[in-house]
Amino acid sequence: MKKLFLDANIFFAATFSPSGGSAMLFELAKYKRVELLTSLYALNEAKRNILHKGGKIYLPRFYQLVSELKTIDQKVYNDSDLIKWEEWIVKKDAPILISAQGQKVDFLITLDKKDFKSKRIESAPIHFIIFNPGELIQSLKP
């Protein structure tokens, strides 16, 4: 089973669009096609953005999605950990790369093209593929 690390924006998109590609990842997990992982850092960012953009009314959907997760990395990274990754990604996104790397995932799933699909990231010392939900879904088709 493929292990997917979900960026905060996947939770945001799946919360607001239950029929979109991000939400489909959670359906795949229900049917044991993929295993979903993330970090406390990503969940906190997602929750903050959901509350800011939509309010508390969306939290039950968010919590339902979180209940589908296999693992949540709870490590907190200090500045020296983050500085090591600034060659490849902006500091605010470094905890996502570090957590995905530490959990030995097959894919990091994100909607952030600007930072995670850049030329800089191509040379990063990572051992997973960075996809958006649509790319991942296409890759799973027989």
Q: How many residues does the chain have?
A: 142
Second-level CATH architecture of 2-140: 3-Layer(aba) Sandwich (3.40)
Residue ranges per domain, the chain? 2-140
Share of the chain above pLDDT 70, in %: 100
Q: pLDDT value at position 64?
A: 96
- Higher-pLDDT residue of 8 and 70 is 8
Per-residue pLDDT tens digits for 4-54? 999 999 999 999 999 999 999 999 999 999 999 999 999 999 999 999 999
pLDDT tier at 95, thresholds 50, 70, 90: very high
Q: What is the pTM of this model?
A: 0.93
